Amino acid sequence: MRIIGIIAATLTTIAFFPQVIQVIKSKDTKSISLTMYILFVTGVLLWVLYGFYLNDLPIIIANSIVAVASTIILCYKIREIRSNLKKS
């Protein structure tokens, strides 16, 4: 049954890759929620911190990967908002 946990963690970690690729390629983040990614990046960074506290390498590694991916998405979102502000 431990394999279920490993597959679950792998899927929820790599899930953000296709979103990162799509955002980088299209530079379109219109339907992506800014609030979601602010909350999510903050939460995932706290998970990394908690992982260090627990000294749990899987928590540290998985959340660090997700932190990088979701931060990239957040940056593209902020960039789009800024560029829209300049236009208007």
SS3 for 26?
helix
| 62 forms part of the interface with a copy of itself (CB under 8 A) | no
> Which one of 24, 46, 57, 81 is in contact with a copy of itself (CB under 8 A)?
46
Q: Is residue 73 a contact partner of residue 37, using CB atoms and an 8 Å limit? A: yes
Binding map of a copy of itself across residues 3-42, x = CB under 8 A, - = no contact: -xx-xxxxxxxxxxxxx-xxx--x-xxxxxx-xxx-xx-x
| 47 forms part of the interface with a copy of itself (CB under 8 A) | yes
CB of 19 to a copy of itself, least distance (A): 4
Q: Is residue 16 a contact partner of residue 70, using CB atoms and an 8 Å limit? A: yes
Q: Is residue 77 a contact partner of residue 20, using CB atoms and an 8 Å limit? A: no
| 83 forms part of the interface with a copy of itself (CB under 8 A) | no
CB of 87 to a copy of itself, least distance (A): 18
HSE on the CB side for 17, CA within 13 Å? 8
